[in-house]
Amino acid sequence: MLKQDLFWHYACQLYTNKQVEEVLLHFQNAHGKNVNVCLLLDYITDLNQQLSQADVDALIQCATQLDEQLLSPYRIIRHTLKNEHSASPNYSAARLSLLKAELELEKLQQHYLIEQVNTCSISYNISANNLALYLPESLVQRFLRAKS
């Protein structure tokens, strides 16, 4: 059973790598990929555990639902604030509050992803490559280069 707090710590630590952050945001913005799914698949791979394609599809569905319900509308608000109200005297405080709340929503999404992955039948595999079930090989390699 995976624990949400351990995954959160792993994700935060990995995301502090500026190259990883840039690559993941590129995957999100240019390829429609979910950052938390990428981080979770990498985390599971680091644990030498392999998911099936059906398991990854279930994670994608879980993430997509939360993106549509919570994160995407929230990001629209944040982008609107930045693009149309950045000259406002309260802009910095409002932006900081939105970023903090968005981080909590990301954490909530991770919670549900961990719940979902804990229903999967994961197999031990020293050569695990879960990202390959979600990303084209060129993007997997780009992520791995950024990570190293």
**Residue 118 region, left (φ>0) first, then alpha (ψ -120 to 50), else beta?**
alpha
Q: What is the pLDDT of residue 25?
A: 96
pLDDT digits (tens, 9 = 90+) for 65-86: 999 999 999 889 999 999 999 9
Q: What is the pLDDT of residue 62?
A: 98
Q: What percentage of the chain carries pLDDT values higher than 70?
A: 100
Q: What percentage of the chain carries pLDDT values higher than 90?
A: 97
Q: What is the pLDDT of residue 71?
A: 93
Q: What is the pLDDT of residue 67?
A: 94
Residue identified by tokens 């050569």 is 127
Average pLDDT over residues 134-145: 98
The model's pTM? 0.93
**Six-digit token pair at 41?**
């698949």
pLDDT digits (tens, 9 = 90+) for 87-121: 999 999 999 999 999 999 999 999 999 999 999 99
Residues 102 and 100: their CA atoms lie apart, in Å, by 5
> Where are the chain's structural domains?
4-147
Residues 40 and 114: their CA atoms lie apart, in Å, by 8
- Model confidence band, residue 61 (pLDDT cutoffs 50, 70, 90): very high
Average pLDDT over residues 34-61: 98
**Residues paired with 50 in a beta bridge:** 123
How far out from the chain centre does Cα 59 lie? 11
